[in-house]
Amino acid sequence: MQHRHILIIILTGLAAFWIGSILYYQRVNTSMIGGGDTWGYYIYLPSSIISGDLLTLETAARRRAEMVPGSMNFGANRLGIMEINMTEKDLPVIKYTSGVAIMLSPFFVLAHAIAYLFEIPPDGYHPVYWYSIYLGVCLWVLFGMIILYRFLIRRFPTWAVWVSIIVLGVGTNLYFFLVYTSPMSHPLLFSLYCFLLEASERYIRNQRTRTAGIIGLICGMITLIRPTEIIAVSIPLILIIYSISSYIRSGWKWQHLLIATLSFCIPIIPQLIYWKMASGEWLYYSYGGEGFDFLNPHIFSGLFGFMNGWFIYTPIYLLAIPGFVPLYIHFRKYFWPVLIFIILHVYIIYSWHNWYYINSFGSRPMVEALPLLAIPWTAFITKCQTNISRSIVIGVSVLCILLNIFQTWQVSQAILLSEEGSFDYYVSIFGKRELNEKRLIAADTQTYPPDFNTLDSIGVIGERRAEFPDSTGTVQQTNEGTMFRISNQTAPRIDLQLDPSIIQPGDYLRITCRAKSEGWNNDRWNMATQTISIWQNQDWLLWVWNRINNKLGNPTWNLWGGEPGVWGEAWYAIQIPKNYKSDADIKVWIENRTGPAILISSFQVELWREK
C-alpha cells in the first residue's frame, strides 16, 4: 500500500509539472495553428466532426489563412497548405495518417461539449480545443507510465522503477513533446508501446483469445499512427517464439493469430477508406518525394551527432547500453525482442531522408522506443546495490533531468536549435541563459569564430561597394545613398571572386557585410545569406553560409531575427582546410531567398593568419 501511495505521488507530481510547463511555455496556439506535423494530425478532427469537409479541407484552409496568414504557401497548391498533397483530381490528401486524431478524439469531443456549455465558438479552433488536446496527450502518457510501472515492478526493485519512471517523465525528450510541441505522434506511440509490453507479457501467462485481440489492436494502432512502426509486431512474436517450448506442451492456439490479425486491421480500415475517397486508391503514399535511403542510413549521426542526435540531447539513456548485459543474464526472454526491435527501429528511422528530424529537440522517433529501452536502463541501475553506487546513479539522473528541463527552456528562448546543432554551437551555449554575437554565428555556421587578437590581419582581399545604379536594379539610389538591393531569390546576387594564390591552409577568412532588412523576417530558412564556397579537385572542399537578417536589430542575438529597418554588420569567419591548394576556386556571395528585400552598403573579405 505504501508503494502505491508513493507511485501516486510520483505520477501526480509529474502531471502537475507537465501542466505547469504547458502553462508556462504557452505554446498551445503556436503548435496547433501554425502548420507542421501538429496541424496535420489535428485537422482530421474539426474537418470531420464539425465542418464535414474532410475531403476538401476548405474550412481548415480558410481558418488557417485567417489566423496565421504567414503560414500559407500558395506556391505549393491551391489551398496554400504544405501539409497536404493534391491528387490528380485536385483533391487534398492529408500528409499524416489519422491515428493521432483517433486517439485524441474523446478529448476533442469533450472540448466541443465545453464550448457549447460555456458559449464558446464551437468551431474547433478556439484555445479550449487545443488545451484539451494537450491534456489528452498528457493523460495517455500518464496511463502508459502506470502500465509500464506494473510491467517493470514485477522484475526490478521498487526504488529502481521509481527512478526509471521519473527519468522518463522529465529527463528525456518525451517531456519536450508533452509540454512544448504537441500533439505529435511520439508521446502516443510511447503509451502504446507500454501497453504492448504488458499485453504481450499477459498473453504469455494466460494465452487468452481476448489478450491476443488486444495485442493485434495495439499493433494496428501503432502501425496506423506511424506505418514504419509495423515492426512492433516483432515484440510479441519474438516473446512467443522464445517461449515456444511451453506452447508445445500446452498446445498452440492458431486461432489466436487469426484474431490478432483481424484486430490489427480494425484501426487501419478508416484510413484506407479515407485514402480511397480522397485519392481513389486504397493505399496512398502521402509524403510525395520524401522517402528512405536504406543503403545510406545515418545511424551514428542520428544517435551521437549534434544535429538532434538522441544521446546528445537525452544523455541519461546512455545507461541503457550497458544495461543489455544484465538484461541478457537475468531476463533473457526480453533481451532478444528489445534488442531486435531497437536495431530495426534505429535502422529504419535513420534511413529517412530527413534523418535528423526537424521541429524537434533531440531525435523524436526515439521517444516511442523509450518503453523498450527502459527495461535495460532499469536493469543497469538495479545492479547498483551499494549506497555509493545508488547515490551516483540518482545524482547523475538528477543532473540529466535538470539539463533536460533547462535545454527545453533554451529552445523556448531561441537559444538552442538542436536540429542545426554542432559541437562548437553546443559547447558555446551549454549552461548559458542568453546568446551573444559569436554564439549566434556558431549556431548559423556550425563553427565558433576565432579570437582575432591571436591572429594577424593580412588585409582586405575582396570588396564590393555600390557605386552606380545599374540596369538590373541590383544597385539603386536610395535616400541613404547608393546601395545594393536584393529583392528576392530571383534577383542577381552580389559576387566576389577571390585570388586563391594569396591564401594558405590554416588561414582565416572573415566575410563581412553592412546591411539593412526592409521588412520583418523571422523565417530562418528564408533569410538572406552570405556564403563562401571552395571548389577543388572536382568537389566541394568547403561550403559555409551565414544568415544576415538575424544579425540586424537583434540586441538579444536570438536565433529568429531582429527588427527591420536597422543597419548592422553581419560577419563570420572560416578557417581554410589543411588540404587546400592554391589552384582552388573560391567564391563569396550574398543572396536573398523568399524574405523581404535587403539593402547592402558594403561587402568585403579579410584575410587573417596565425601569429
Instruction: Note the pLDDT tens digit of each residue in 367-381.
Output: 999 999 999 999 999
Q: What is the CATH number of the domain that holds 593?
A: 2.60.120
> CA 513 to CA 555: how far, in whole Å?
18
| Residue 306, SS3 per DSSP | coil
Residue 429 is assigned to a structural domain of this protein: no
List all residues 6 or more positions away from 609 whose beta carbon is below 8 Å from its beta carbon. Answer: 455, 456, 458, 504, 506, 507, 508
Residues 53 and 96 in one domain: yes
Residues 361 and 498 in one domain: no
Total structural domains in the chain? 2
Prediction pTM value: 0.93
Residues 19 and 162 in one domain: yes
Residues 162 and 78 in one domain: yes
pLDDT value for 434: 93
Residues 27 and 152 in one domain: yes
What are the C-alpha distances in Å from 232 to residues 98, 114, 378?
18, 37, 21
Residues 351 and 499 in one domain: no
Residues 210 and 272 in one domain: yes
Band (470; pLDDT cuts 50, 70, 90): low
Please state, as a whole number, how many other Cβ atoms lie within 10 Å of the Cβ of residue 590.
25
Which value, in Å, is the radius of gyration of the alpha carbons in the chain? Answer: 27
Q: State pLDDT tens for residues 434-465.
A: 999 999 999 999 999 999 999 999 999 999 88
Residue 426 is assigned to a structural domain of this protein: no
> CA 524 to CA 457: how far, in whole Å?
32
Residue 382 is assigned to a structural domain of this protein: yes
The answer on pLDDT for 489 being more than 70 is no
pLDDT value for 247: 54
Q: State pLDDT tens for residues 369-427.
A: 999 999 999 999 999 888 899 999 999 999 999 999 999 999 999 999 999 999 999 99
Can you give 173-203 as a three-state secondary structure string? CHHHHHHCCCCCHHHHHHHHHHHHHHHHHHH
Domain span including residue 33 = 2-283+298-403
Residue 424 is assigned to a structural domain of this protein: no
Tell me which of 355, 378, 403 is where a domain ends.
403
> CA 412 to CA 563: how far, in whole Å?
19
Residue 304 is assigned to a structural domain of this protein: yes
Band (469; pLDDT cuts 50, 70, 90): low
Residues 383 and 475 in one domain: no
Residues 372 and 475 in one domain: no
Q: State pLDDT tens for residues 212-267.
A: 999 999 999 999 999 999 999 999 999 888 776 555 445 557 788 899 999 999 99
Residue for cell digits 497536404?
84
Question: Averaged over 123-150, what is the pLDDT?
Answer: 95
Band (490; pLDDT cuts 50, 70, 90): low
Question: Do residues 416 and 407 lie in contact, with contact meaning Cβ atoms separated by under 8 Å?
Answer: yes
Residues 311 and 261 in one domain: yes
Residues 379 and 444 in one domain: no
Residues 235 and 366 in one domain: yes
Residue 73 is assigned to a structural domain of this protein: yes
